[in-house]
Amino acid sequence: MLSVEEALQKILDEIDILEEETVPILESLGQVLAGDIKSDINVPPLDNSAMDGYAVISQDTIGASEKTPRFLRVIDTVMAGSISRKEVVPGTAVRIMTGAPVPGGADAVVQFENTDDEKHKKSTPDKPITRAGILSEAKSGLNIRRVGEDIAKGAMALKKGTVIRAAEIGLMASLGYGRVKVIRRPVVAILSTGNELVEIDKPLPEGKIHNSNGYSIASLVKRYGFIPKVLGIARDDEEELLGKLKEAQDADMLLTTGGVSMGDYDIVKDIIARDGELVFWKVRVKPGKPLAFGKIKGKDKIIPHLGLPGNAVSCMVSFELFVRPALMKMMGKKNFDKPTIEVILEDTVINNAGRRLYDRAVIERRNGHYYARLTGSQSSGILTSMSLANGLVIIPEDSKKVNKGDTVRALMLDWNEEVNI
Ligand code: AMP
Ligand code: MG
């Protein structure tokens, strides 16, 4: 049986990066830049003030203090977005607001707090301020943001391969780019298999259960910025399954849940093996052993197919470990790992499976350490144990017993801001 790392490598080996697309910048959040972005402009476009205050000639402020103010004649007021046509000459100053271009002649800005201005409050057209008392010395360049200090015209602003976050979207906006070339998001077909499944809006006949996997898996797909294409339910019937699989033909990946274990009706892996290519089946992991990975024929390309286990927890854990990295690779990302941290176990864990355990846990920080407490039964169908958890503690395949108080690693699914613990 393959280890988690071997299985993941086999999957990643079969994954190609998708094509480029051009999208409005706001839609590109989480996508990967498909080309370098250079700046056509200087940001900021001109030297401008970092403070509300007076634009002065620094020489004029020599010796200025609370006790010995240097008085300057105020010749103009300039706000952000406007330009003062006045030249600051010795003995004069221009009132200037944050972001306003620094007028000619001035080489420093003294903030209002270091002038006698606080007493005057506002300068209005009917009561203009005509004199400013400077109360501290200003070095040349004080409170001046230089032209192009953020990005100079012609400079590289963002490199190909950058993952776009809020800051990058802001940066593109500041450069005046409304659209951006990125690697497109994969479309992921999701099919739930099983005779026992009933859609959520239908009453439950005896012996049936609601299709929860279709929803949890589609939500994971959305959470990481991929596009779900929900195909609903197929019974454990070859004809019905094949019919539904046709609807996955133009997807970039097919995910099925169920039908990959040892049961009489577990036909998914047999169909992959017969009609496509089964790369592997089974991974040395718990939950999630019966994971099938294969390739099926799509409309104009081969589509990777991950046959996820049917159990509600298993399919979600398999998604985090194997599907998420594969889809991130398709989107052009390079770092697939979710963070793992060191945690102190608050329960003793027995591992008789000889597989790597990913046990659901509440992980919280206390007194400078992270502690992990299991969320009850680790049976792979108990979805509430997943709902209570914010991480998975990793018990190595060769550890038969890990004691309460021992330190292990944990894979963080969510951090505290997203879960109530
Ligand atoms: P299977 O591998 O198909 O035998 O499924 C394993 C277990 O997962 C069975 O108990 C199924 O009832 C359950 N299961 C399969 N598919 C779903 C689903 N879509 N939603 C909830 N439970 C499921
Ligand atoms: Mg089944």
Summarize pLDDT for 313-366 with one digit per residue, the tens: 999 999 999 999 999 999 999 999 999 999 999 999 999 999 999 999 999 998
Instruction: Work out which ligand 1 atom sits closest to the CA atom of 260.
Output: 2
Instruction: Work out which ligand 1 atom sits closest to the CA atom of 193.
Output: 16
**Distance from the alpha carbon of residue 284 to the mean position of ligand 1, in angstroms:** 20
Structure tokens, 11: 């999957």
| C-beta of 192 in contact with ligand 1 (< 6 A) | yes
Which residue is it, tokens 């597989």?
355
Which ligand sits closest to the CA of 379? 1
Whether the link from the prior residue into 44 is cis, omega within 30° of 0, is yes
Residues near 141 by beta carbon (within 8 Å), at least 6 away in sequence? 107, 108
pLDDT of residue 265: 82
**Distance from the alpha carbon of residue 285 to the mean position of ligand 1, in angstroms:** 18
Digitized pLDDT (tens) for each residue of the chain, 421 residues in all: 999 999 999 999 999 999 999 999 999 999 999 999 999 999 999 999 999 999 999 999 999 999 999 999 999 999 999 999 999 999 999 999 999 999 999 999 999 999 998 665 677 888 888 999 999 999 999 999 999 999 999 999 999 999 999 999 999 999 999 999 999 999 999 999 999 999 999 999 999 999 999 999 999 999 999 999 999 999 999 999 999 999 999 999 999 999 999 888 889 999 999 999 999 999 999 999 999 999 999 999 999 999 999 999 999 999 999 999 999 999 999 999 999 999 999 999 999 999 999 999 999 998 889 999 999 999 999 999 999 999 999 999 999 999 999 999 999 999 865 555 5
Residue 158 exposure: Cα atoms within 13 Å on the Cβ side: 24
Report the Cα–Cα distance between both ends of the chain, in Å, rounded: 36
**Distance from the alpha carbon of residue 319 to the mean position of ligand 1, in angstroms:** 15
**Distance from the alpha carbon of residue 356 to the mean position of ligand 1, in angstroms:** 22
Which ligand sits closest to the CA of 235? 2
Q: What is the 3-state secondary structure of the chain?
A: CECHHHHHHHHHHCCCCCCEEEEEHHHHCCCEECCCEECCCCECCCCEECCCEEEECHHHHCCCCCCCCEEEEEEEEECCCCCCCCCCCCCEEEEECCCCECCCCCCEEEEHHHECHHHHCCCCCCCCCCEEEECCCCCCCCCEECCCCCECCCCEEECCCCECCHHHHHHHHHHCCCEEEEECCCEEEEEEECCCEECCCCCCCCCCEECCHHHHHHHHHHHCCCEEEEEEEECCCHHHHHHHHHCCCCCCEEEEECCCCCCCCCCHHHHHHHHCEEEEECECEECCCCCEEEEEECCCCEEEEEEECCCHHHHHHHHHHHHHHHHHHHCCCCCCCCCEEEEEECCCEECCCCCEEEEEEEEEEECCEEEEEECCCCCCCCHHHHHHCCEEEEECCCCCEECCCCEEEEEECCCHHHCCC
Which ligand sits closest to the CA of 191? 1
179-192 b/e (C-beta count within 10 Å ≥ 16 → b): ebbbbbbbbbbbbb
Asked if 191 contacts 217 with a C-beta cutoff of 8 angstroms, the reply is no
Instruction: Work out which ligand 1 atom sits closest to the CA atom of 236.
Output: 3
| C-beta of 200 in contact with ligand 1 (< 6 A) | no
| C-beta of 197 in contact with ligand 1 (< 6 A) | yes
Asked if 176 contacts 38 with a C-beta cutoff of 8 angstroms, the reply is no
Residue 34 exposure: Cα atoms within 13 Å on the Cβ side: 18
Partners of 323 in the β-ladder: none
Which ligand sits closest to the CA of 309? 1
Residues in the chain, overall count: 421
**Distance from the alpha carbon of residue 188 to the mean position of ligand 2, in angstroms:** 21
| Angstrom distances, CA of residue 135 to CA of 88, 191, 336 | 19, 73, 56
pTM above 0.75, yes or no: yes
Interatomic CA distance for residues 197 and 234, integer angstroms: 9
**Distance from the alpha carbon of residue 313 to the mean position of ligand 1, in angstroms:** 10
Summarize pLDDT for 71-114 with one digit per residue, the tens: 999 999 999 999 999 999 999 999 999 999 999 999 999 999 99
Residue 214's nearest CA partner among 188, 237, 239, 250 is 188
| C-beta of 307 in contact with ligand 1 (< 6 A) | no
**Distance from the alpha carbon of residue 266 to the mean position of ligand 2, in angstroms:** 6
Interatomic CA distance for residues 73 and 57, integer angstroms: 12
